[in-house]
Amino acid sequence: MNNIILIGRLTRDPELRYLAGSGTPVAQFAIAVDREFTGKDGKKETDFIDIQVWGKSAENCANYIVKGSLVGIQGSLRIDNYKNEAGENRKSVRVNANRVQFLDNRKNNNQDQQFEPGAGLEHGGWSAIEDDDIPF
C-alpha cells in the first residue's frame, strides 16, 4: 500500500499547466513539513516535498492557495528514475496528491483581519441594533 498524508505550508505558488493533447490540468508546488524531532544543534528540521495535483483539484489549487498557505495532502509517493545530461542515474521523488485540503485562506489575507462589533454593518440603509433597543 502506498499512502501518504502530510500537512505543511507551500514554499511557492502552484504552477498550473495543461497537458498537450488531452488538456488535463496539472499543478505543481512544494510544501515545507517540519520533522517531529530536533537536530543535533537543537533546531527543528524541515523537509521540502514536491507535490503534483491533477484535474479539477489542480485548477482549485492554482486559484485558491499561494506561497505560505497551510494545506493537508493525501496521496501516494512516486519515485522516478532517470539519467541526467551527463548520463548519471538520478531519482525524482514527489507526492502524487489525490486530495488537497485547504487549511487556511492566505490568498485573501483574512487571517490578518479581526472582527470588530458594529464595523461594516451600515449597508443599504440598514444599521446594527443596539442591545438597549431589543425588547426582551
CATH number at residue 69: 2.40.50.140
| Assigned domain for 132 exists | no
* C-alpha–C-alpha distance, residues 71 and 13, integer Å: 13
* C-alpha–C-alpha distance, residues 114 and 35, integer Å: 31
pLDDT tens profile 88-130: 999 999 999 999 999 986 555 444 433 344 444 444 445 555 6
Task: Give the chain's domain count.
Answer: 1
| Assigned domain for 57 exists | yes
Residue with cell 495532502: 73
Indicate the DSSP class of residue 130: P
* C-alpha–C-alpha distance, residues 28 and 16, integer Å: 7
Cβ count near 8 (within 10 Å): 21
Q: Mean pLDDT in the chain? A: 84
pLDDT tens profile 48-66: 999 999 999 999 999 999 9
pTM: 0.72
